[in-house]
Amino acid sequence: MPKAGPRPVARLGVRRAAPLRGMWMLGPALVAGVAYLDPGNVASNMTAGARYGYLLVWVVLAGNIMAWLIQYLSAKLGVVTGQSLPEVLGTRIRNRWARRAYWLQAELVAMATDIAEVLGGAVALYLLFDIPLLLGGAITGAVSMVLLAVQTRRGPRHFEFVIIGLMLIIVIGFVAGLFVAPPDPAGVLGGMVPRFDDSGSVLLAASILGATIMPHAIYAHSALTRDRFPARGPGADSRRPSLRTLLTVTRWDVTIAMVIAGSVNLAILLLAAANLAGVEGTDSLEGAYAAISDNLGAVIGTLFAVGLLASGLASTSVGAYAGAEIMHGLLTIRIPLLARRLVTLIPALIILGIGFDPTLALVLSQVVLSFGIPFALVPLVALTAQRRTLGEHANRPLTTVLGVVFAALLIALNAVLLWLVATGA
């Protein structure tokens, strides 16, 4: 007796599950988006709101719009080529010494990012449990090693679940204060008008953008989508969705991630603008925590510190992942993530051990990040505009124009940041 063919009900079930399947493919952008919620962002946005009120609301919004396009281009490169940005550059930069020089600057940027994130976690542990900064930095590094072990042994999906869980804690920690003391709607609307007050506001605007668009997030996102959606090849799963489907899901993924990151960054600025304007000492994480606790209560202050801790733990894990990918892509050297995490933890522990001001170290790390912006942005826009790289999925002319404009603007603002810091303006 012949076997019965597949039942129509089964096919209907597959069709009905398609939207759920699309949701299941979300995740890489949420992991990369944690880079937009690191302690450097907290410090920049908190200081901007405390010093200038609602003046720089427009900067946070503009930065988020630019971040959406940049992160989408990075994700698209990984989805279409099946390679990360460092891998593509590793094959395109033929000169060995040029490739090594490019790797060195990218590696230094990743390490500077990592220092800021470990410092943020150490400060949070000090605020919550009065743990000495050096020990707090060691604990932050140890926990990040556990998170990276999840990625190494359980795969990208489990790593995404952990990071997304930490992102939820970040959202609660940094947004809770707005429900206790909401901002002035008129002030928020007024802050959407682009303007500056003085050189200090320009410096903070550049700091906000510098802390928002970070090179390691660009490198990491292309690798995350590559790992999550490996390209078709011999023996590959034939059920892999089409590139068009993956790119559609990726756009939604990036949109959700950037809405969350942008909303939280805006919430931090608004919280400071509404409640900490003119309060002394809010230019440091410790001072901001004390001011929030004094003005909004101990519960909100504790939630802020918990959010800061989750921020440091999640972002340092993503930073270590990005650094490993940079080395692998450009030098074809694969160092185990946990070993790399141990090595890159040393500079942060040295800074904490010698008693260097953590907030100043955070600011200086943002300056180092500024040097790396052009080296990540320019190749990203150029590669995604090439048909020989992305074929029919290459950027449309308008996308390329926007990418060039955003890259030029970010490079110029970071140059202004470097100049203002150098001149002490």
Q: What is the pLDDT of residues 154-182, one digit of tens each?
A: 767 777 788 888 889 999 988 988 888 88
Looking at residue 318, its pLDDT comes to 81
Angle in degrees, CA 84, 89, 154, rounded to 5: 25
Which pair of structure tokens corresponds to residue 9?
A: 């009900």
Contact assessment for residue 181 and residue 278, using Cβ atoms and an 8 Å cutoff:
no
Whole-number Å distance between alpha carbons of 156 and 393: 25
| C-alpha to C-alpha distance for 121 and 358, rounded to whole angstroms | 11
pLDDT at position 424, please? 61
Query: What sign has the CA pseudo-torsion 263, 35, 54, 189?
Result: negative
Whether the Cβ atoms of residue 150 and residue 158 lie closer than 8 Å to each other? yes
Average pLDDT, the chain: 81
Which phi-psi region, left, alpha or beta, contains residue 82 (left: φ > 0; alpha: ψ -120 to 50)?
Answer: left
Give the pLDDT score at 398: 92
Cα 270 to Cα 176: distance, rounded to the nearest angstrom? 12
What is the dihedral sign for C-alpha 33, 38, 40, 42?
positive
The segment with the largest mean pLDDT, out of 160-164, 176-180, 227-231, 281-285, is 176-180
What was the pLDDT predicted at 305? 92
Q: Identify the pLDDT of residue 4.
A: 47
Two structure tokens written together for 98 = 């040029």
DSSP secondary structure string for all residues of 41-108: HHHHHHHHHHHHTTTTHHHHHHHHHHHHHHHHHHHHHHHHHSS-HHHHHHHH---HHHHHHHHHHHHH
CA 106 to each of CA 272, 274, 330, 380: distance values in angstroms, whole numbers, following the listed order: 33, 38, 10, 14
Instruction: Quote the percentage of the chain above a pLDDT of 70.
Output: 86
3-state secondary structure 142-164: HHHHHHHHHHHHHCHHHHHHHHH
366 touches 44 (CB < 8 A): yes
The model's confidence at residue 401, banded by pLDDT at 50, 70 and 90, is very high
* Model confidence at 104: pLDDT above 80: yes
Residue-wise pLDDT for 171-219, tens only, equals: 998 898 888 888 888 888 998 988 888 777 887 887 787 667 788 888 8
Paired tokens of 170: 């970040």
∠ at Cα 351 (115, 217), nearest 5°?
Answer: 5
Q: Residue 3: is its pLDDT beyond 50?
A: no
The model's confidence at residue 18, banded by pLDDT at 50, 70 and 90, is very low
Rounded alpha-carbon distances, angstroms, from residue 57 to 52, 114, 202: 10, 27, 13
Per-residue pLDDT at 58 exceeds 90: yes
Q: Helix (H, G, I), strand (E, B), or coil: what is residue 7?
A: coil
The predicted structure's pLDDT at residue 206: 76
Residue 367: pLDDT band with limits 50, 70, 90: low
Q: Which two tokens stand for residue 79?
A: 């989805």
Q: In 10 A of CB 277, how many CB atoms?
A: 15
Mean pLDDT of 15-32: 60
Assess whether pLDDT exceeds 70 at residue 240: no
Structure tokens at 83: 């390679």
| Per-residue confidence (pLDDT) for residue 379, from 0 to 100 | 92
C-alpha 265 chain-centroid distance: 12
One-letter amino acid at 217 equals A
| Residue 153 predicted with pLDDT over 70 | yes
How much is the pLDDT for 199? 74
pLDDT, residue 354, reads: 85
CATH number 3.30.465.10 is the correct assignment for the domain at 27-225+243-423: no
Closest CA to 304 of 133, 181, 214: 181
Q: Give CA–CA dist 191/56, Å, rounded.
A: 6
Q: Where are the alpha helices (DSSP H) in 213-336?
A: 215-228, 243-275, 285-296, 298-331
Identity of the amino acid at 68: W
Cα radius of gyration (the chain): 22
